Amino acid sequence: MPWVDVDREPARDPAKERGLADLYRDSLDRNVGPVAAAVRAFAAAPAGPVVVHCAGGKDRTGMLVAVLLEAVCVPRAVVVEDYAVSAQHLGIADILATLGDAQRARVETYAWSHPETLTSALEHLDATYDGARSYLRDACGLGEAELEAVRHRLVH
């Protein structure tokens, strides 16, 4: 399922996205339709594991998983720790070491999964939407039954 809402993409202002946290916050605001579709697909998937992935394996994946976990009251510290370990599992340091200085400087800002990056996005959901569950309900349009299906899938 795509994360980007192509109809809302023209509203994106990359100049305001000075870092990854800015990109995450803007993406959550702009892409509510695709986020809702991804959550609905997760909740409606057949019994068993569900694979969530993106090209890099930490940004769109990390945001979706974080929103799902926060919506079912997993402690933020646990959610952020899970995200932060992504850089290690993806071998980001090794990948960056293969790049020349100029190329590394261009991509390094977006390569890491620093805890404060996801924390900033989740704090944005708190401040703007009153948390992940309210974001999914009020901004993304999910119903209580759909949110309960997410909880059931993750908690049981």
Q: Give the pLDDT confidence score for residue 56 in this predicted structure.
A: 83
Q: Domain spans of the chain?
A: 9-155
Q: Which long-range contacts (CB under 8 A, 24 or more apart) does 130-139 make?
A: 131/70, 132/66, 132/67, 132/68, 132/70, 132/71, 133/70, 133/71, 135/28, 135/67, 136/35, 136/36, 136/39, 136/67, 136/71, 139/29, 139/32
When pLDDT is cut at 50, 70 and 90, the band that residue 110 belongs to is confident
Q: Give the pLDDT confidence score for residue 39 in this predicted structure.
A: 98
Q: Give the pLDDT confidence score for residue 72 in this predicted structure.
A: 97
**Could you name the CATH architecture of 9-155?**
Alpha-Beta Complex (3.90)
In whole angstroms, give the CA distance from residue 60 to residue 134: 19
In whole angstroms, give the CA distance from residue 72 to residue 150: 8
| The pTM of the whole model exceeds 0.75 | yes
Percent of the chain with pLDDT over 90: 76
